[in-house]
Amino acid sequence: MATGQTTARGMDIKLPLGTDAVSILRRVEMLEYVLERAIALPGIRRKIGLDAVIGLVPVAGDVIAGLMGMYLVWEARNLGMSKWQLARMTANVGFDTLLGAIPVAGDLFDFIFRSNSRNLRIIRKHIDKHHPHARIIEAA
């Protein structure tokens, strides 16, 4: 195993521990995947993540999911993103957490509104502009 990397238990996933833009992007992408798209629902073409699952626990689940979402904002701060971008990202997480705390309707909202995916797009846009060496070219 390379220096500065760890392997997630039971998975063949390498999580970089560095402070460079590429390492931060990989950590953020992994957390976004786990929070928003890790579980495929049988019968429909929609994936959900840990955010929607733990959001089923009233209030406490949404607070925990919000704290996990705020980790993305913290990593964005480490990238040197502007206060405006950080405020938008915080607003996304706060909006998701507040509306997700409403029983039943909040659970449906968590299924539709993906604050972590929105925040990942903001981070990728910043990285493409300010850290071109970390840019990822995605196939269509």
Is pLDDT above 90 for 121?
yes
The residue among 128, 127, 98 whose CA lies nearest residue 115 is: 98
This prediction's pTM: 0.82
The 3-state DSSP class for residue 16 equals strand
Model confidence at 7: pLDDT above 70: no
* Per-residue pLDDT band at 138 (split at 50, 70, 90): low
How far is C-alpha 36 from the chain's CA centre?
Answer: 7
3-class SS of residue 102: coil
- DSSP of 46-98: -EE-HHHHHTTSTTHHHHHHHHHHHHHHHHHHHTT--HHHHHHHHHHHHHHHH
Q: How far apart are CA 58 and CA 28, in angstroms?
A: 26
Of residues 115 and 130, the one with the higher pLDDT is 115
> Taking a C-beta distance cutoff of 8 angstroms, is the pair 26, 15 a contact?
yes
**pLDDT surpassing 80 at residue 114:** yes
pLDDT at residue 21 greater than cutoff 90: no
